[in-house]
C-alpha cells in the first residue's frame, strides 16, 4: 500500500518523539532523491538563490523563482511534507499580501505549508495565513533575509538578552499557531531551552543536538557546493570531484572522437538506407 504523504499535523505530533529529518530540495531530481532517502519534510528553501541561482544572498529571490522551483519539487515528492519558503518582501509588506502569496504556494505549486522568517512581530501574519488554512513553519535566529541588518551571516542569540528575545519570539510564534520552528545558528543551550519550553517541534541548523529535528541544505550534504562550508554542516559525501571528473572525461572523449561508440549509436535499417540512397535529392 502506498505510504500516505506526511502533513503539518503529522510533523507537529512528532514533538518530543522521533527526531524529524528535514532536507532542502529545489527541483525534480533533488526532491526525488530527498523523498526516496526518507526525509520527513522537504523545504524548498530560498537558499535556492545562493545554491542554484548564483546569488550572493537570498534577497534577490522572487515569488516567481520560488513558485517555479516548488512546482518541480511537488511533482517529485510522494511521502514528505513539502514546505515552501516565502521569499523576501512576499510577506513583510502587508498581512493580506502575505496570505495571498502563501496561498499561491498551495494553489499553484502544490506545497502543503509555507515558512517565513521573523519573530513575534510576525505573529499576526502567521495567524492570518493559518486562518486561510495554510500551515506555517517559523524561522528565528540567523534569518538570512535580515542579512543587511545583521551586517552578514552572523550567529544570533549569543548574549543573555538576545537569547531571551529569541525565547520570547519562539513562544509568540508557537502561540500564533506555527506547526514547527526553525532555529538557525543559535547556541545549543538556547535551542535546548526553547525546545524544552515550546509545544511545537524545533528544527535546528547550527543549533545543536537537542532540537526536535535537523535541517541541512541538499547540496551541502552531498558536497555539491564548492567553497567554504559553515562549521555546523556535515558533508556526507563529496560528489563535486567525481562529478567534475566525469564531465571532464566526457569533454575529452568528444574532442578525441572516443564518444559516441557503437554502443551509443543507432544505425538505419540497411534496406531503408539503400532506399534512402536511391531516392533523388530534394531540389528547391
**Is 184 among the residues known to form the active site?**
yes
Provide φ and ψ at 200, rounded to 5°: -120, 155
Q: Which of 43, 85, 50, 66 has its CA nearest to residue 225?
A: 50
Distance CA 122, CA 242 (A): 44
Q: Which of 177, 157, 153, 154 has its CA nearest to residue 165?
A: 157
Touching ligand KIV, residues 205-224 (CB under 6 A): 205, 215, 217
Residue nearest to ligand KIV (CB): 45
Judged by CB under 6 A, which stretch of 40-48, 102-110, 220-228, 271-279 contacts ligand KIV?
Answer: 40-48
Pattern 140-179, binding to ligand KIV, x per CB under 6 A?
----------------------------------------
The C-alpha cell 514547527 sits at 180
**Which residue lies nearer to ligand KIV by CB, 160 or 208?**
208
Pattern 85-124, binding to ligand KIV, x per CB under 6 A?
x---------------------------------------
Which residue out of 184, 197, 210, 272 is catalytically annotated?
184
Q: Prior bond to 238 cis, omega within 30?
A: no
Exactly one of 34, 35, 40, 47 binds ligand KIV (CB under 6 A); which one?
47
The angle that helices 123-131 and 160-176 make with each other, rounded to 10 degrees, is 20
Biggest CA pair distance of the chain: 88
State whether the Cα torsion 13-15-16-18 is positive or negative: positive
Look at phi and psi of residue 157 and say left if phi exceeds 0, alpha if psi is from -120 to 50, else beta: left
Provide, rounded to whole angstroms, the least separation between the CB of residue 276 and ligand KIV: 54
Provide, rounded to whole angstroms, the least separation between the CB of residue 48 and ligand KIV: 7
Exactly one of 6, 20, 23, 45 binds ligand KIV (CB under 6 A); which one?
45
Judged by CB under 6 A, which stretch of 11-19, 43-51, 150-158, 168-176 contacts ligand KIV?
Answer: 43-51
**Which residue lies nearer to ligand KIV by CB, 224 or 246?**
224
Distance CA 118, CA 135 (A): 16
What residues are paired with 115 via a beta bridge?
Answer: 85, 137
Q: According to the binding rule CB under 6 A, does residue 46 interact with ligand KIV?
A: yes
Provide, rounded to whole angstroms, the least separation between the CB of residue 273 and ligand KIV: 54
Grid coordinates representing 202 are: 524545533
Grid coordinates representing 230 are: 559553515
Q: Footprint of ligand KIV on this chain (CB under 6 A)?
A: 24, 43, 45-47, 85, 139, 182, 184, 205, 215, 217
Amino acid at each position: 500500500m502506498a505510504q500516505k504523504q506526511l502533513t503539518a499535523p503529522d510533523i507537529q505530533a512528532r514533538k518530543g518523539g522521533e527526531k524529524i529529518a528535514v532536507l532542502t530540495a529545489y527541483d525534480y531530481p533533488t526532491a526525488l532523491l530527498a523523498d526516496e532517502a526518507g526525509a520527513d519534510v522537504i523545504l524548498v528553501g530560498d537558499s535556492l538563490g545562493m545554491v542554484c541561482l548564483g546569488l550572493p544572498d537570498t534577497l534577490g529571490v522572487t515569488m516567481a523563482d520560488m513558485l517555479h522551483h516548488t512546482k518541480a519539487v511537488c511533482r517529485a515528492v510522494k511521502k514528505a511534507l513539502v514546505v515552501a519558503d516565502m521569499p523576501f518582501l512576499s510577506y513583510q509588506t502587508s498581512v493580506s499580501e502575505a496570505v495571498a502569496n502563501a496561498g499561491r504556494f498551495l494553489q499553484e505549486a502544490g506545497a502543503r505549508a509555507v515558512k517565513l522568517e521573523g519573530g513575534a512581530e510576525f505573529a499576526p501574519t502567521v495567524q492570518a495565513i493559518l486562518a486561510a488554512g495554510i500551515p506555517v513553519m517559523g524561522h528565528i535566529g540567523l534569518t538570512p533575509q535580515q542579512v543587511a541588518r545583521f551586517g552578514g551571516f552572523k550567529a544570533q542569540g549569543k548574549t543573555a538578552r538576545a537569547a531571551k528575545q529569541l525565547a520570547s519570539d519562539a513562544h509568540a510564534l508557537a502561540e500564533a499557531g506555527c506547526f514547527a520552528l526553525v532555529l538557525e545558528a543559535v547556541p545549543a543551550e538556547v535551542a535546548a531551552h526553547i525546545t524544552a519550553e515550546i509545544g511545537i517541534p524545533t528544527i535546528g541548523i547550527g543549533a545543536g543536538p537537542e532540537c526536535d529535528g535537523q535541517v541541512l541544505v541538499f547540496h551541502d550534504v552531498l558536497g555539491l557546493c564548492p567553497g567554504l562550508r559553515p562549521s555546523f554542516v556535515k558533508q556526507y559525501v563529496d560528489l563535486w570531484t567525481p562529478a567534475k571528473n566525469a564531465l571532464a572525461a566526457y569533454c575529452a572523449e568528444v574532442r578525441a572522437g572516443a564518444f559516441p561508440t557503437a554502443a551509443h549509436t543507432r544505425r538505419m535499417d540497411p534496406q531503408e538506407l539503400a532506399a534512402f540512397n536511391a531516392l533523388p535529392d530534394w531540389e528547391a
